[in-house]
């Protein structure tokens, strides 16, 4: 566990008036839209136009501590460049026009504006804007009420003397990361890289409740599958989609941390912290892979159980059909046996005068004998075929 991680796990001081230097304004975590103003600052310097931005918090740090001067985008770069400070601006879901002001303030490339305001990017770490690192992270949180996993994004621009964070969603809690770092000035003295490491560590830590929630969901699905629940396949499919999205969020993290560890400006302690985070990321990736494999196995077991159930139903229907066939055979056999004497009686029961057998003295006994003979012959025939 890195000291950055321990900082916001064990110490979460509230950044209020009691912890700020005198005269500093408290900035809460509710995004605010700033109205642009024009004017001059003390000393006669022209203040740049201030654009309306969704700024959650902004501060300049010197020697690891938050300064007391009020900050405005129009001259933030002058303030931190003049005295070798570190600027950190946090934004929440800015539009392209809103982020353009921040990009102009810190000299970000125009492509950075497009990258920052468009979410649904893959996790990545790039140095594509000169000395500025651009990092995209996919945060996740487990929602107990709906038993689902929600994903969001955070974009981080880490320059030589500034950090700009853009959050698209509720996670991660950047305000908590800021409070943890402000409580440990020795970490902030390391510069923008410490902030980037802390944000990545926070995203990794936020994966723990997701892993626990998905494990619990899988246990419930296993019970539903073996209990024959009709809704189990649908739930397996929905959870599989969430696990696939979780894999896409976590799998790029180990290579990203390896690339960060290779930065020549890092000292051995920072590399040690990154190795610890790298191992953490690998464990999360392995757990996500295990979840997907387990869900595939559950789906296979569910298919096997459904196939077995259908086979049992088919066998039962076959047995019923066979029983019905046997009954039909018996009814048909007895119907045929009874039909033979009925046929003889019908022939000799016709009211025609020229029926020779009607005047025989032995006609009646012979007719009865013929009826009995036909009935016995048919009975023996059906009995031999097991119809009776």
**Beta 39-40 vs 162-168: how paired, if at all?**
unpaired
Domain end call among 279, 306, 333: 306
Q: Specify whether 38 is located in the same domain as 168.
A: yes
Work out the pLDDT band at 40, boundaries 50, 70, 90. very low
The pLDDT tens digits of the residues spanning 361-385 come to 777 787 788 888 888 888 888 788 7
Mean pLDDT of 290-306: 83
Omega before 172 cis (within 30°)? yes
Residue 312 lies inside a defined structural domain of this protein: no
Residue 340 lies inside a defined structural domain of this protein: yes
Q: Check: CB of residue 48 under 8 Å from CB of residue 38.
A: no
Work out the pLDDT band at 138, boundaries 50, 70, 90. very high
Q: Specify whether 54 is located in the same domain as 117.
A: yes
- Taking residue 189's Cβ as centre, other Cβ atoms within 10 Å add up to 14
Mean pLDDT of 40-69: 60
Please report the sign of the dihedral spanned by the C-alpha atoms of residue 64, residue 67, residue 70, residue 76: negative
CB neighbour class for 23 (10 Å; exposed up to 12, middle 13-18, buried from 19): exposed
Q: Specify whether 282 is located in the same domain as 332.
A: no
Of 83 and 283, the structure prediction assigns the larger pLDDT to 283
pLDDT(129) > 90: no
| Percent with pLDDT over 70 in the chain | 79
For residue 351, what is the domain's CATH number?
1.20.58.340
Q: Specify whether 294 is located in the same domain as 330.
A: no
Q: Specify whether 219 is located in the same domain as 362.
A: no
User: How open is the CA angle 29-192-199, to the nearest 5 degrees?
Assistant: 50
Residue 375 lies inside a defined structural domain of this protein: yes
pLDDT(288) > 60: yes
Residue 315 lies inside a defined structural domain of this protein: no
Q: Tell which residue, 109, 274, 110, has the closest CA to residue 204.
A: 274
Q: Specify whether 364 is located in the same domain as 233.
A: no
Place of tokens 């006994």: 365
pLDDT of residue 205: 92
Q: Check: CB of residue 37 under 8 Å from CB of residue 50.
A: yes
Maximum mean pLDDT: which of 66-80, 205-219, 365-379: 205-219
pLDDT of residue 351: 66
Of 275 and 48, the structure prediction assigns the larger pLDDT to 275
Residue 47 lies inside a defined structural domain of this protein: yes
Rg (CA), the chain: 42
The pLDDT tens digits of the residues spanning 180-199 come to 988 888 888 888 888 999 99
User: How open is the CA angle 45-52-32, to the nearest 5 degrees?
Assistant: 115
Mean pLDDT of 234-256: 90
Work out the pLDDT band at 263, boundaries 50, 70, 90. confident
Distance CA 57, CA 37 (A): 19
Residue 317 lies inside a defined structural domain of this protein: no
Work out the pLDDT band at 213, boundaries 50, 70, 90. very high
Work out the pLDDT band at 109, boundaries 50, 70, 90. confident
pLDDT(208) > 90: yes
Q: Specify whether 358 is located in the same domain as 261.
A: no
Q: Specify whether 334 is located in the same domain as 266.
A: no
pLDDT of residue 22: 36
Residue 124 lies inside a defined structural domain of this protein: yes
Q: Check: CB of residue 286 under 8 Å from CB of residue 238.
A: no
**Burial 140-162, CB ≥16 within 10 A → b, else e:** bbbeeeebebebbbbbbbbbebb
Q: Specify whether 248 is located in the same domain as 365.
A: no
pLDDT of residue 383: 80
Torsion of CA 315, 320, 324, 329, to 10 degrees: 40
The pLDDT tens digits of the residues spanning 300-326 come to 887 777 777 777 787 788 888 878 888
Distance CA 175, CA 184 (A): 15
84: left (phi over 0), alpha (psi -120 to 50) or beta: left
For residue 175, what is the domain's CATH number?
3.30.460.20
User: How open is the CA angle 84-90-92, to the nearest 5 degrees?
Assistant: 165
Residue 293 lies inside a defined structural domain of this protein: yes
The partner residues of 92 in beta bridges, in order of sequence, read 167
Q: Specify whether 173 is located in the same domain as 200.
A: yes
Query: What residues make up the domain containing 355?
Result: 322-384
Domain end call among 282, 306, 330: 306
| Percent with pLDDT over 90 in the chain | 15
Mean pLDDT of 7-26: 36
What is the chain's mean pLDDT, rounded? 76
Q: Specify whether 298 is located in the same domain as 326.
A: no
Domain tally, the chain:
2
- Token pair listed for 301: 């077991």
Domain end call among 273, 306, 339: 306
Q: Specify whether 360 is located in the same domain as 281.
A: no
Q: Check: CB of residue 332 under 8 Å from CB of residue 323.
A: no
């Amino acid at each position: 566990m890195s000291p950055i991680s321990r900082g916001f796990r064990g110490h979460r001081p509230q950044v209020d008036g009691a912890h700020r230097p005198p005269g500093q304004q408290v900035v809460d975590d509710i995004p605010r839209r700033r109205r642009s103003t024009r004017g001059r600052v003390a000393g006669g310097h022209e203040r740049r136009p201030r654009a309306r931005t969704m700024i959650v918090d902004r501060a300049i740090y010197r020697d690891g501590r938050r300064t007391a001067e009020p900050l405005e985008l129009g001259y933030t770069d002058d303030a931190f460049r003049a005295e070798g400070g570190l600027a950190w601006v946090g934004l929440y879901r800015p539009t392209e026009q809103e982020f353009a002001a921040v990009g102009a303030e810190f000299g970000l490339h125009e492509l950075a504006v497009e990258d920052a305001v468009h979410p649904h990017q893959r996790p990545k770490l790039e140095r594509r804007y000169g000395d500025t690192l651009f990092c995209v992270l996919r945060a996740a949180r487990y929602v107990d009420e709906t038993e689902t996993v929600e994903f969001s994004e955070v974009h981080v621009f880490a320059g030589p003397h500034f950090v700009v964070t853009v959050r698209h969603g509720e996670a991660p809690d950047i305000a908590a990361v800021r409070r943890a770092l402000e409580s440990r000035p020795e970490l902030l003295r390391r510069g923008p890289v410490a902030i980037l490491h802390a944000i990545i560590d926070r995203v990794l830590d936020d994966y723990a409740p997701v892993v626990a929630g998905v494990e619990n969901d899988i246990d419930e699905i296993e019970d539903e599958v073996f209990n024959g629940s009709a809704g189990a396949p649908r739930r397996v499919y929905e959870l599989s989609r969430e696990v696939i999205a979780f894999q896409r969020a976590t799998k790029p993290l180990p290579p990203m941390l390896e690339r960060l560890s290779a930065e020549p400006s890092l000292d051995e302690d920072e590399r040690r912290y990154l190795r610890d985070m790298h191992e953490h990321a690998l464990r999360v990736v392995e757990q996500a892979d295990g979840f997907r494999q387990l869900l595939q196995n559950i789906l296979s077991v569910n298919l096997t159980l459904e196939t077995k159930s259908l086979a049992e139903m088919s066998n039962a229907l076959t047995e019923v059909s066979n029983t019905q066939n046997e009954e039909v055979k018996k009814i048909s056999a007895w119907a045929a046996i009874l039909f033979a004497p009925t046929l003889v009686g019908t022939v000799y029961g016709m009211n025609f005068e020229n029926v020779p057998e009607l005047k025989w003295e032995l006609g009646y006994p012979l007719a009865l004998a013929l009826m009995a003979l036909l009935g016995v012959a048919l009975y023996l025939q059906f009995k031999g075929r097991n119809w009776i």
